[in-house]
Structure 1
């Protein structure tokens, strides 16, 4: 039963992350830091986002397997195959419901997406059944090498991604800046105040 709870948390977290990507795309106020990074690297080689997403994700997966393969698991697979599907589904739904959203609606979508992304990340981080290759980098820095608390490691990795994108002609938006600055701390807050107590309660109940 405890494992089922973890799998459910991981699945819900990954799918919710995908929905949030679709919301950010619809808001059109700036992409997330990793998308910014991939786009910037693709610009260097005059290639496509999808090509370098696969290349860079593959490289990061290799690094994670060497440093801490514990972070590669079922949630990693779910992330790989279902995040894009969930994002496309949400974007299509919003296209139907609000074909031409005004600025207020776009800002609302952006803020909801950022908060829900942090909540979703807290769920599947805490489930401890694998994370995306990019997410694993900050987790490894924080929990394997203990360089800094996770929230600061995440700010640094997000900041480097945004800087790379900026240097290589990626248009930044307010959503990019907000995500880079606040995703780490807000994700940690949700882990501490919701996800970890929820999992601990479930474990205690089973015991």
Structure 2
């Protein structure tokens, strides 16, 4: 039952993260670095985010499997197949509900999406069932090959993703800056005060 609770937590975190990506895309005030990258590549081929999320994450997943398969788990597979679909579904729903949102509404969508992205990440990481293929790249560079400390490896991968997005007409804005600066601390707050107590309580109930 404890393992099932972790799987459910990971699944909820991944789906919520996908919904938040769709909200950030609709807000059009800047998205997180990896979303910049995927959206930029999708723009090249006039395709959907979910299609290229699956393709690009799949390619990275093969690379991670070759270099350090330790980082691959149930949550990695869930992330591969459901994040992009959830993002496109939320974006489509918001297109139907808010065809021309005001700046205030866009700002509200951005703020809500960032907060819930951090909650989603807290659930996902606390479940400890693997990481996304993109997260694994910086981890491998830092801890497997010791190229640079993790924070610098992550800055480099994020910077390259933002550059690709910028080159292919992805909006960079305040949302990109906020996710870069505040996701870490807010995610940790949700882990400490919500996700970890939930899992601990569940483990105690099962025991």
TM-score above 0.5, yes or no: yes
SS across alignment from 1:29: coil
1:41-190 paired onto structure 2 within 5 Å:
53=53, 56-140=56-140, 154=154, 157-166=157-166, 170-190=170-190
Q: Which moved more, 1:120-129 or 1:52-61?
A: 52-61
Q: Residues 52 and 29 (structure 1 numbering): CA distance in 2 closer, same or farther, change over 3 Å?
A: same
Check whether the contact 2:29–2:171 (CA below 8 A) recurs between aligned residues.
no
Q: Does 1:194 align with 2:194?
A: yes
Of 3-12 and 195-204, more deviation after overlay is shown by 195-204
* Superposed displacement of residue 37, structure 1: 2.9
Count of residues paired in the alignment:
204
Structure 1 Cα separation of the partners of residues 139 and 195 of structure 2: 16
Residue 10 of structure 1 contacts residue 75 of structure 1 at CA under 8 Å; is this kept in 2?
yes
Provide TM-score, normalisation by structure 2: 0.79
How far off its partner does 1:156 sit? 5.4
Distance 1:73 1:154 in 2: 21
Identify the range of structure 1 (32-41 vs 98-107) with the bigger mean alpha-carbon deviation. Answer: 32-41
Q: Matches of 1:93 and 1:168 in 2, distance apart?
A: 25
Look up the match of 2:36: 36
Alpha-carbon distance in structure 2 between the residues aligned to 1:55 and 1:83: 12
Deviation at 1:40, TM superposition (A): 5.5
- Deviation string 1:126-149 (CA, Å, 9 cap, x unpaired) is 112223211233455677789757
Question: How many Å apart are 1:101 and its aligned residue?
Answer: 1.0
Query: Would you say the 8 A contact 1:10–1:123 is kept in 2?
Result: yes
TM-score normalised by structure 1 residue count: 0.79
3-state DSSP class of the match of 1:158? Answer: helix
State the Cα distance separating 1:160 from its structure 2 match.
Answer: 4.2
Distance in 2 (CA, whole Å) between partners of 1:144 and 1:56 is 22
Secondary structure at the counterpart of residue 130 of structure 1: coil
* Cα distance per residue 1:2-59 (max 9 Å; x no partner): 011101101110110111111111111123201223456688xx65676865554234
